[in-house]
Chains A and B, each alone.
Chain A
Amino acid sequence: MKIKTPSDLEKLRDQGQCMLSPQKPRVSVGMATCGLAAGAGAVFDALRQAADNLRLDLTLVSAGCIGCCQEEPLVDVRMPGFGRVLYARMTPEGADRLIRSLASGELPHENALAYIPEEGSDTPKSAEVLSGLVPINALPFYAKQHKVILRNSGLIDPQSIEEYAARGGYKSLLLALLQLSPHEIIDEITRSGLRGRGGGGFPTGKKWEVCSRAAGTARFIICNADEGDPGAYMDRTVLESDPYAVIEGMTIGGYAIGASQGYVYVRNEYPLAIDRINHAIERSTECGLLGEDILGTDFTFSIQVIRGAGAFVCGEETALIASLEGGLGEPRPRPPYPAVSGLWGKPTLINNVKTWASVAAIIRKGPEWYAGIGTKGNAGTAVFSLVGKVANTGLVEIPLGLTLEEMIQGIGGGGLAGKRVKAVQTGGPSGGCIPADLFHLPIDYASLTQAGSIMGSGGMVVMDEDTCMVDVARYFLRFTMEESCGKCTPCREGARYMYAILTRIIEGEATPEDLVLLEEIAMWVKEASLCGLGQTAPNPVLSTLRYFRDEYDAHVREKRCPAGVCRALIKLTINAERCTGCGLCLRECPVGAIRGKKKAPHIIDPDLCTHCRTCYDICPEKAVEIVR
């Protein structure tokens, strides 16, 4: 069916509503890549199998990610008349029991995490049946979140354009094409205060304005889904969980600047995201929401997906464009900015996945609504991937201005069992490490920059007392060294030299002069590199030098690694009183350095031991001790 009129869209929405609330159980499994990594595939199969065996008529859906990855595999069950209940940490066996309960008309208690309130209904019956069950937004993980970009993530079938429409999808495109002029749209985006969520934080409306005014006939839209920062998976999740939101945003952008072709450049490591966005493009085209004469107007817009090929630097906009054009993905100097001269030299509007996913929400609810979220100069919400040494790992969307404390202690639930959180790394290889005593800082562009890091695109990696900050700095320099495209000398050579010095430090072979040299090279690389990769590459080093100089000093002067990580500076021993002789470490030691009889204390042969800490990590009795 082609959607040509508002009433056509109404019909699509009604169909979606029926799919979301059918007259039979609807069981949906979080099957984004994170869910699959936690074993959601086996849970899905078990649900299907059990339902088939019992001939239970139900709708089984593979959904995206709802955010609380820590609790995955997640299963969301909607029983007619009961509302939606989210079940956590499901196993194939649990799935079988769940279906048995449903078949006998009951909602099980086992693994129930929370209920998901449905629009326009009061406390659902599920909350009465399962006493003590709270709404999802009462969980500490969700209490301070505000979902705009992730508004549909995990709640709908990402393959279903009907369900997207049922949650208000395509209302904005309708409004934009039938009631707003391109100029008015740009004005609304400007007034919303939206800033690019790809890392730079450039005001989105301003970029659209420049692009729409740039001279030229053809124009292009690009969605940057290259998401290269390690430890970050926001864009992957949005594409896998709510691809139509990105498509709708790009289509509105196309109309606003007068482009008829858009591209989504997706990172190579994201095959599922590529499948999902391709499917959504196909469905949108079938429905007349992409292609020619969209919504019965004379506006034409198509989108094509391009798969990247594993080069981090291609996330930089000029490199991305060079890669699209078929050449080497190397950056070029700016100006001219892509908004003026981009793909094939034509004006090109490039925004991040999350920026595009915000657009439809802003058009529908109005710029004032969006500007009212967050703080002055930091309007709206941003998505973070809260990972590393934190209790609740997951994908979090907050109004800007929340403090790091609220994020890490409140939402994240603090450190891993019994460990003290030491720092948080934001902004990926371009960012820095912020120490725990600055966690009172609000999460906004200026505060994080002032603290020596950046907001970046949303990576937030928590580090605890077992993380060595020098090792982390070296980790990032290795990343930069491997990913530098090599076009300019300061970045190519500077990263190599900094890496070499950091290696000397962790091996206990550095002198105090090395620290001076390290800082000096860092300043040069920052000043003299061509693109953002090189210009920001020293940040992890500079920020750790600033806040964790004591750790550097310990390595350099005392030849000691306080965190007990750097292999050349530690030794491992087994505490004979705690060791039960279970033999796990003996089997797992990669170099066979552990000896001992069954049920008797084991010992580590210091001549063979490489200090890799595998035994320390896996010992169930915590009997392995690090001598630092």
Chain B
Amino acid sequence: MPLIAQPDHPPAGAVLARLHQIHSAKGYLPEADIRAAADDLAIPLSRLYSAAAFYSAFSFQPKGRYTIQVCLGTACYIRGGDRLLEKIETLLGVKAGETTPDGMFTVETVHCLGSCSMSPVIRVGEETYGRLKVNLVGRLFKKYRPGEPGQKGVEEQGT
């Protein structure tokens, strides 16, 4: 028995589950929610903050309406994922990690989306798209933002 009483720990997985819950409800981790979560879980705020900061899935800044995850896993990388990313960055005018000024898209890179057989792959929100080519992404984004300028699909241009 330790001389000083130890507080009970939260159940296994509870910290991650709570962070996920806040993140999916708010789109990021607002400070007030983290404070409340630390109280509920009865763990020091500093511990919860450092855990949250450790994982790449959690953001402390608000994100766009859709997160575009560009896969840079091995299969996607060697089949042109890096060029797909450049194309997306040019199309949307933001770099990986940034959000478009209208708050529609946040561009991120990930290390694999588990659809390596379809490389290169991206995910927009919850939809996964495989076998992509740089000349197909412009049309794809139009689905999400109908007014998307420039970049018409190839077929529409009759080539």
Contacts and interface: CB of A to CB of B under 8 A. Distances in A.
Interface in A228-253: 228-233, 236-237
Interface in A1-55: 33-34, 36-38, 41
A271 B116 CA distance: 16
A33 B123 CA distance: 11
12 contacts: A33-B115, A37-B113, A37-B118, A70-B117, A265-B13, A269-B112, A309-B55, A310-B57, A393-B118, A461-B75, A614-B83, A617-B83
B112 A230 contact: yes
A198 to B, nearest CB: 16
Interface string B122-159: 00001111110111000000000000000100100101
A215 interface: no
A472 to B, nearest CB: 7
Contacts of A428: 74
A277 interface: no
B26 to A, nearest CB: 15
B46 to A, nearest CB: 12
Q: Which of B9, B14, B115, B133 has the most CB of A within 10 A?
A: B115
Contacts of B133: 617-618
Contacts of A285: none
Nearest to B12: A324
A249 B109 CA distance: 34
A311 B56 contact: yes
Interface stretch (A101-109, A492-500, A582-590): A582-590
Q: Which of B9, B134, B154 has the most CB of A within 10 A?
A: B134
B155 to A, nearest CB: 12
Contact of A325 (B9, B56, B111): B9
A241 B40 CA distance: 37
A232 B58 CA distance: 23
Interface of A: 33-34, 36-38, 41, 69-70, 72, 227-233, 236-237, 263, 265, 267-271, 273, 304, 306-312, 323-329, 343-344, 385-389, 393-395, 425, 428, 459, 461, 463, 467, 472, 475-476, 479, 483, 485, 582-584, 587-588, 590-591, 612-614, 617-618
B19 A309 contact: yes
Contacts of A311: 54-56
A306 B17 contact: yes
A310 B118 contact: no
Interface string B5-25: 000011011111101100000
B126 to A, nearest CB: 7
B86 interface: yes
B87 A230 contact: no
Interface of B: 9-10, 12-17, 19-20, 41, 43, 47, 50-51, 54-58, 69, 72-80, 83, 86-87, 89-90, 110-119, 121, 126-131, 133-135, 151, 154, 157, 159
A413 B37 CA distance: 53
A323 B16 contact: yes
Given A387-B75, A590-B86, 19 more contacts: A34-B114, A37-B113, A228-B112, A230-B77, A231-B75, A231-B112, A233-B117, A269-B113, A304-B13, A306-B13, A309-B20, A309-B56, A311-B55, A325-B12, A388-B119, A394-B117, A428-B74, A583-B157, A590-B87
Nearest to B82: A612
Contacts of A463: 78
A306 B87 contact: no
B78 A461 contact: yes
Nearest to A67: B117
A583 B135 CA distance: 12
Nearest to B41: A326
Contacts of A614: 83, 86-87, 134
A387 to B, nearest CB: 4
A393 B116 contact: yes
B43 to A, nearest CB: 7
Contacts of B121: 37
A343 B11 CA distance: 11
A33 B51 contact: no
Contact of A33 (B54, B72, B74, B128): B128
A326 B15 contact: yes
A617 B51 CA distance: 42
Nearest to A592: B90
B79 A69 contact: no
A588 B126 contact: no
A583 B159 contact: yes
B112 to A, nearest CB: 4
A325 B77 CA distance: 34
Contact of A36 (B9, B12, B78, B128): B128
Contacts of A324: 12-13, 16
B15 to A, nearest CB: 3
B56 A612 contact: no
A278 to B, nearest CB: 12
Contacts of B72: 230
Nearest to B18: A326
Contacts of B110: 269, 310
Given A461-B74, A618-B135, A34 B117 contact: yes
Nearest to A313: B54
Given A69-B117, A584-B154, A588-B135, A326 B10 contact: yes
Task: List 4 A-B pairs, minimum CB-CB distance, nearest first.
Answer: A37-B130, A230-B73, A69-B117, A309-B55
A229 B112 CA distance: 8
Given A38-B131, A271-B126, A326-B9, A475 B74 contact: yes
Contact of B58 (A271, A309, A312, A328): A309
B118 A472 contact: no
Contact of B83 (A229, A327, A329, A612): A612
Given A325-B12, A428-B74, A475-B77, A232 B90 contact: no
A232 B112 contact: yes
